[in-house]
Structure formats: structure tokens, C-alpha cells
Amino acid sequence: MKGAGDGTARVTRFAPSPTGPLHIGHAFSALVAWERAQAGCFLLRIEDIDRTRCRPEFETAIFKDLRWLGLAWPEPVMRQSERMGAYAAALDQLAGLGVLYPCGCRRADIRAALSAPQEGAAVIGPDGLVYPGTCRGRSMESVGPQDALRLDMGRALALAGMAEFMETGADFTGVHRLDPDWMQAQVGDVVLARRNLGTSYHLSVVVDDAAQGITEVVRGADLFAATFIHVLLQRLLDLPGPRYHHHRLIRDDTGKRLAKRDDARAIALYRAEGASPADIRALVTLPSGS
């Protein structure tokens, strides 16, 4: 196992959601995170906030496949479903800054508001449809059990000031600065606590990367745009900003990105057909043996 690090060593992580089997794209992501940890520490985190989609048997299978690939990690593994208190504390902190508001809009309400003639074409950003701001005037005192909590992007940007992050992935190498105009137009007031869930992907990932002391976030290029949201939240919550490494996505023979649900690419199937961990590395063009 890679050592616990001496405070200066790299700490990377692999953060799967146990909603299906580990497939070749996940294996690639885990292997890149493992190799980029070098002599530092590779951590695992189970992202299971959406209890309706996560299954314990998938979690067990993911552990098994990762071990088979030759990876190891310190126990106990962080599990997001056990971290609701930390997410609630972060939401309190943001509410204290005056950057949250409750929102009772359903997807259909948002679509209807966006289709009003004065709105122009709806924008789909890294967090889906850009919210038209219908509930932005609501105070946190009016929050009801069926409400989500949204970030007031305008206020958040004004409060955070200049923010940037360092990217080491080949497609986006360099320093990236948050552009307030882009954030307002392309991201908008993102949901930070989903209805009936008490948190969201964006909030949990930021709180947990800090709690685990991650120094380099390794994940797929599809999450690059979401990083701007994460860096903004780090600034607001006064959390350290890790470096980022967004790796290329594994594509099939026709160049199509592999869907998360493409079970034909499950590691367990390759294994059942007699593939070795070295074969998997070769398949994703990682040098074997490292």
C-alpha cells in the first residue's frame, strides 16, 4: 500500500458512485489516480448520497475489482452517506454568508420559465439547465421540507473575489481563473442541497476533498467544467484548493465515449474471460507494472 504520506506527499483519490459495476473507464480513472499519488497516498471514497441508486453489492464488487487491479487504500473508506452532518455544517456556513436561498421549482417549472418569449434560448451548463432565478428573492426563513437550496451565483462571486486553480491534465494544462460572466451565464444558481437529499454532488465533493486532505483531484475530463463550481465553493467555505488533473475519457472503437451504464465493459466480465490486470492496463494504454 502507498504510505500515509509525510504531509508534503501527494494525496489522490478515486470516488466512485456504487450505482453499477466498475467498468473500463472507472478502472482507468482509478489507475491514473493511483499512479499520480506516486509515493504518497491513494484514497477511496464512496459517493453514495443518492441512496435510491446506490447498492451495497455494487460497492462490494467495486472493492473486489480494484483489489484485483492491484490497488490498495487505507481503511476505513470514507462513505458520503455517513457525512450528512459535515454537509449540513457547510450549508450553515454558506447560509451565514447570505449566498443560499430555498427553491421549490420542479424541472417542469424551470422549463416553462425558460420558454417564456423574453428568455431567449435556454442555456445548458455543467450543472444542467441554467436556472432562471424564479426563487432568488426568497429568504432562508421560508425554507420548506420540499425545497432545494440554491447558490446565489451573483452574490457568491462578489464575495469570493478572484479565484483560480491549477490543472495538470493534458487537455487543459495551466492556471484557470474563474470568469464571473461565464459563471453567471453558463452555470447560474446551482443546487447545493437537493430536495430530500440534504446535499448535492458539488457540495459533498468539495467538503470531502478537504476533509480527506486531497492535494490532487484526479477524474475524467467530463467534470472539468464542474471544477469552477468547486473552486468557488472552496473559496466561500475557506477550504484549501487542491490541484486538478482531468484525464481523457476512454472511448470505444468507434470513438464514442463509454457510457457509465455500458456493462459490456465491466471489469468483472473481462476478468471472467481470463484477462489479467496487465491486459486492462494495456487496454487503457497505461504502462504495466507501475
- In the complex, the residues that contact ligand GLU under the rule CB under 6 A are 15-17, 47, 205, 219, 223
Closest CB 130 distance from ligand GLU, rounded Å: 21
Closest CB 31 distance from ligand GLU, rounded Å: 14
Closest CB 269 distance from ligand GLU, rounded Å: 19
Buried b (16+ CB within 10 A) or exposed e, 251-271: eeeeeeebeeebeebbbeebb
Nearer to ligand GLU, 11 or 143 (CB): 11
Nearer to ligand GLU, 105 or 218 (CB): 218
CB-count burial class (<10 Å; 0-12, 13-18, 19+) for 139: exposed
- Rounded Cα distance between 233 and 97, Å, is 12
Nearer to ligand GLU, 15 or 69 (CB): 15
Quick check: 17 and 50 in contact, CB under 8 A? yes
Closest CB 228 distance from ligand GLU, rounded Å: 13
Closest CB 3 distance from ligand GLU, rounded Å: 23
Quick check: 280 and 267 in contact, CB under 8 A? yes
Closest CB 92 distance from ligand GLU, rounded Å: 23
Grid cell, residue 186, equals: 453558463
Nearer to ligand GLU, 29 or 131 (CB): 29
Please enumerate in sequence order all residues whose Cβ is within 8 A of that of 285, keeping only pairs 6 or more positions apart, or say none: none
Q: Which residues pair with 177 in a beta bridge?
A: 164
Nearer to ligand GLU, 48 or 147 (CB): 48
Nearer to ligand GLU, 18 or 277 (CB): 18
Closest CB 10 distance from ligand GLU, rounded Å: 16
Nearer to ligand GLU, 147 or 167 (CB): 167
Grid cell, residue 241, equals: 484548493
Please enumerate in sequence order all residues whose Cβ is within 8 A of that of 42, keeping only pairs 6 or more positions apart, or say none: 2, 12, 13, 14, 33, 34, 71, 72, 73
CB-count burial class (<10 Å; 0-12, 13-18, 19+) for 224: middle
